[in-house]
Amino acid sequence: MNKTEAKKRIEELRKKTEYYARKYYDDDKPEISDFEYDMLMVELRNLEKEYPEFISKDSLTQKVGGHVKEGFQKVTHEVPLQSLQDVFSFEEVEEFDERIRKQAKENGIEDVNYVVETKIDGLSAALEYKQGKFVRGATRGNGLIGEDVTENLKTVKTIPMELTDKIDITVRGEVFISKQDFEKMNQEREENEEELFANARNAAAGSLRQLDSKITAKRPLDIYIFNVQKIEGKTFNSHFEELEYLSKLGFNVNPVRIPCKTIKEAEQAIEKIGEDRENLTFGIDGAVIKVDDLHFREILGSTIKVPRWAVAYKYPPEKKETILKDIICQVGRTGVITPMAILEPVKVAGSTISKTTLHNEDFIKEKDLKIGDTVVIQKAGDVIPEIVEVVKNKRTGQEKDFEMPKVCPVCGAPTVREEGEAAVRCTGIECPAKLFRNLVHFVSREAMDISGLGENIIQQLLDNELIKNIADIYTLKFEDIASLKKNGKKFAQNLVDAIEESKQNDLSKLITALGIRHVGVKASKMLARKYKTMENLMQASYDELSMIDDIGPIVANSIREFFLEDQTIDLINKLKIAGVNMKSLEEENQDNRFEGKTFVLTGSLEEFTRNEASEIIEKFGGKTSGTVSKKTDYVLAGEEAGSKLTKAQNLGVTIITESEFKEMIK
C-alpha cells in the first residue's frame, strides 16, 4: 500500500469507526459486533503506526469514543476516565510484559506483579464521595467530560449512599445488567412489541442515561467498582490492596480479581476466566491485566487515551456449525408471529444451543436461510445465540424454502404484514395466544373501564379457566370471583357491579376496547359520532372510511379487515347477547363553533383536566393535537406551560388562557 492509498484507507476507517462508535456509545444501538469494531480499530491503529504523518487528534485511536448527551449537566473528571489498549493474542500480552519489565529494570524495580480482572461489559461511571457520603456520579463521556447522572445512580441498589469510613474518595466502576435480568427485560419488550436491546451493555447504558430517573429505577442496574480514581488522607502500595479496602468501605467490588506474579500466571488467569465466563452471572468482553504496584504505575504514566500500565485481552467470539432442522412460528401476547430456528444441538461458549429466534421474515431473507442448511452459530454479547451465516457450499439441493404462515398457527385467523413493518401479526381478536393482552386492554380505563379487573385477577381467571374469551367477562358469577381472594365477597360484589356498569358505556369506549389496529381513543370517538351504532360501523365500506378526516387509507383498511373477521363477528354477537351497549350515547350537537380548528393543550389547567378540555373542543367540532405546527389554530396554555408554548410564540400561533377558553365555550 502506497502513501496515497494509506491516507485514503485511514480516512475511510476514521469515518467508519466514528459512525459505529456513535451508534454504540451515544445511541446505544450498535450496528456491528464488538469484534468487527475491534478489527477496524486494529487496522486503523496499525496504519497510523506505519504512517505516523497521518495521525490526527480526531482519530478514535487518540481519544475515547463517547459524547455528552443533550439534557445532562456536564461533569469534568478530575482524574480522566481513560480507555484501555486492546490486545487479541498472548503474543501481544507478552510484548506488553516485555515493555513493562524494560521500564522496571530502568527504574531499579526488581519484581513486577499483575492483577487480572474480568472486563465487565457495561457503562463506566465515576462515583464521588465527601465525608463518606455519595454526592455525585458521572458517566465516562469522552474520558475528560461526562454526564451528571447522580439521580439515576441513586436508584442502583448496590451503590452505597454512605460508606463505612468518613473519607473523600472518587471511585470508578462499571454499571451493568446481569445476564438473567437482560434476558427477562428483552422477553418483556418482545411481548410488548418494543424494540429489543442489542446486548446487555447497551441496555445498561440506555438505562443509566435516561433523562427521567423514574425510568432508570425500573431497570435492574448493578455495578462493580474496579478502581480508586482519587482519595484524600490515605495511601496504598498496590492495586489489590486498594480493592480490598473498597470492599471494606461497602462497595460492590469486581468479584474476579486474581493476583499474578508472572505474565505466565496472568495468561493462565485469562484462560481460566475464558473457560468460566459462561458461568458468570454478568457479561464480559475480555480480561484486564494491570500492573499491581501503584508507585510503578505513576512512573509508567499514560498516553492521551490509555494508561501504559494495563491492557485488555479480548476473547474472540466462538462460532460453531450446525444444521437448521426446522423453522417453527410462535405467537406472542400481542399477536406478533416470530419464526424460531430449531437446530441440531451444538455447544457454543459453554452452553448447548438447540434453538434461536430468527426475528422476522426479512432476517430470514437477508441471511438466505433454508430449512436443512448448515449454519454458523455464535453467542452475541455472550448471551443471545444467533445465526451468523449460511455455509452455502454445503448445500445438497434438498434444502427447503420457508414462508411465513398466511394464517395464525394458534387460532387459524389470517395473518397480516402492514406496509413499513417487519412483523407479521395474527388478526384474530379471540386468539388464545393474544387473549391476556386483549383482556388487559379491553378492561382498561380508556376502554371499558372495569375497575378491579387488573392484570393479576385476569391471569387468575385464565389460570382457573373461568374465562376463555373476552365475552366471558360478562358471564362471570359472584362465587367465581369471590373464590380468587381470601374473604373476597366485598371484592367480588364490587367487580360484579363494575362489569354490569360497563355494559352501559358509550359506543366509543367499546370501539376502543376492541383494539382495532391504528384506532385509538380519538378515532373511536370520531367513528362513534359518525356511525351511531356498531352495526353501521361494521357495514362501512373502505372507500367511505378512507374519506373521513384523520382516518385515511391505512386505518380504513385496518377497520374494514377487522370487521370482516369471523372472530370479530362472533365476539360482537356474544357481547350483544350479554347486553353490552352498541350505540352512541352522545347527544346530537348542532353547535360546531370549532369546526376546522385545531387546538394544542399545554401546562396544567385549574378547572378542567386535559381530557375534559379535549372532549369539549371535540364536542364543538374541533380537533386536538399533541404537537404545535403552522396548522395549529390555538394553544391553550395553563400553568407551567413548556416548550409547546415557546414554539407557539415563535410560530405566531394564537395563545389563549383558561379564562379565554371558558369565554369561547359559553
CA distance 48 to 55: 6
Torsion of CA 296, 299, 300, 301, to 10 degrees: 120
Q: What is the pLDDT of residue 403?
A: 93
Would you kindly state where each structural domain of the chain is located, as residue ranges?
A: 3-54, 74-313, 317-426, 435-578, 598-664
- Domain 435-578, CATH number (from 3.40.50.11540, 1.10.10.10, 1.10.150.20, 2.160.10.10): 1.10.150.20
Torsion of CA 368, 370, 375, 377, to 10 degrees: 80
pLDDT higher than threshold 70 for residue 70: no
Residue with cell 496472568: 266
Active-site amino acid positions: 119
Q: Give pLDDT tens digits for 401-434.
A: 999 999 999 999 999 988 778 889 999 998 999 8
What cell was used for 485? 381472594
What cell was used for 169? 474518595
The residues that bridge with 173 in the sheet, in sequence order, are 125, 225
Q: Give pLDDT tens digits for 202-253.
A: 888 888 888 778 888 888 999 999 999 999 989 999 999 999 999 999 999 9
- Domain 598-664, CATH number (from 3.30.930.10, 3.30.300.30, 3.40.50.10190, 1.10.3860.10): 3.40.50.10190
**Residue 342 in 3-state DSSP?**
strand
- Listed in order, strand segments (DSSP E) in 97-234 are 114-120, 123-130, 133-139, 145-147, 169-176, 222-231
Q: Give pLDDT tens digits for 527-543.
A: 998 899 999 999 999 99
pLDDT higher than threshold 90 for residue 576: yes
Q: Are 558 and 540 in contact (CB under 8 A)?
A: no
pLDDT higher than threshold 60 for residue 641: yes
Q: What is the pLDDT of residue 193?
A: 66
Q: What CATH class has 74-313?
A: alpha beta
Average pLDDT over residues 142-152: 90
Q: Are 433 and 335 in contact (CB under 8 A)?
A: yes
- Domain 317-426, CATH number (from 2.60.40.290, 2.40.50.140, 3.40.30.10, 2.40.160.10): 2.40.50.140
CA distance 437 to 462: 12
Q: What is the pLDDT of residue 80?
A: 92
- Residue 95 has a CB neighbour count (10 Å cut-off) of 13
Q: Is pTM beyond 0.75 here?
A: no
Q: What is the pLDDT of residue 138?
A: 94
Q: What is the pLDDT of residue 69?
A: 52
The residues that bridge with 654 in the sheet, in sequence order, are 634
Percent of the chain residues past pLDDT 70, beyond the cut: 95
Q: What is the pLDDT of residue 71?
A: 66
For the chain, give the mean pLDDT. 89
What cell was used for 293? 504496584
* Helix (H), strand (E) counts: the chain: 24, 22
CA distance 395 to 393: 6
pLDDT higher than threshold 90 for residue 150: yes
Q: What is the pLDDT of residue 300?
A: 95
Average pLDDT over residues 173-201: 82
Burial of residue 279 (CB within 10 Å: 0-12, 13-18, 19+) is: exposed
Burial of residue 246 (CB within 10 Å: 0-12, 13-18, 19+) is: buried
Q: Are 189 and 338 in contact (CB under 8 A)?
A: no
480-489 long-range Cβ contacts below 8 angstroms, 24+ apart: 484/457, 484/460
What does the radius of gyration of the chain's CA atoms come to, in whole angstroms? 31
- Place 173 in a pLDDT band, splitting at 50, 70 and 90: very high
- Place 381 in a pLDDT band, splitting at 50, 70 and 90: low
Q: What is the pLDDT of residue 593?
A: 87
SS (H, E, C) 441-466: HHHCCCCCCCCCCCHHHHHHHHHCCC
Backbone angles phi, psi at 279, to 5 degrees: -85, -10
Average pLDDT over residues 313-334: 88
CA distance 632 to 616: 17
Q: What is the pLDDT of residue 474?
A: 96
**Residue 524 in 3-state DSSP?**
helix
CA distance 447 to 455: 15
- Residue 104 has a CB neighbour count (10 Å cut-off) of 18
pLDDT higher than threshold 70 for residue 102: yes
Tell me if 3-54 shares its fold with 74-313: no
**Residue 414 in 3-state DSSP?**
strand
Single out the residue of 250, 227, 224, 254 nearest to residue 239, CA to CA.
227
pLDDT higher than threshold 90 for residue 131: yes
pLDDT higher than threshold 60 for residue 606: yes
Average pLDDT over residues 568-575: 95
Q: Give pLDDT tens digits for 438-488.
A: 999 999 999 999 999 988 899 999 999 999 999 999 999 999 899 888 778
Answer yes or no: CATH 1.20.120.160 is held by domain 3-54.
no
Q: What is the pLDDT of residue 251?
A: 96
Q: Are 334 and 111 in contact (CB under 8 A)?
A: no
Q: What is the pLDDT of residue 22?
A: 75
- Place 299 in a pLDDT band, splitting at 50, 70 and 90: very high
Percent of the chain residues past pLDDT 90, beyond the cut: 56
Pairing of the two strands 351-357 and 424-426? unpaired
CA torsion sign for 345, 346, 348, 351 is positive
Q: How many CA atoms lie within 13 A of 253 on its CB side?
A: 21
Q: Are 424 and 361 in contact (CB under 8 A)?
A: yes
SS (H, E, C) 138-163: EECCCCCEEEECHHHHCCCCCCCCEC
What type of residue sits at position 148? D
CA distance 232 to 329: 60
Q: What is the pLDDT of residue 470?
A: 95
Pairing of the two strands 284-291 and 384-390? unpaired
Q: Are 223 and 178 in contact (CB under 8 A)?
A: no
- Place 349 in a pLDDT band, splitting at 50, 70 and 90: low
Residue with cell 455455509: 391
Q: What is the pLDDT of residue 188?
A: 81
pLDDT higher than threshold 60 for residue 382: no
Residue with cell 393482552: 437
Q: Across the beta sheet with 169-176, what order do the strands follow? A: 133-139, 123-130, 169-176, 222-231
pLDDT higher than threshold 70 for residue 493: yes
Q: Give pLDDT tens digits for 16-25.
A: 888 887 776 6
Q: What is the pLDDT of residue 639?
A: 84
Weakest-pLDDT range from 40-49, 104-113, 404-413, 627-636: 40-49
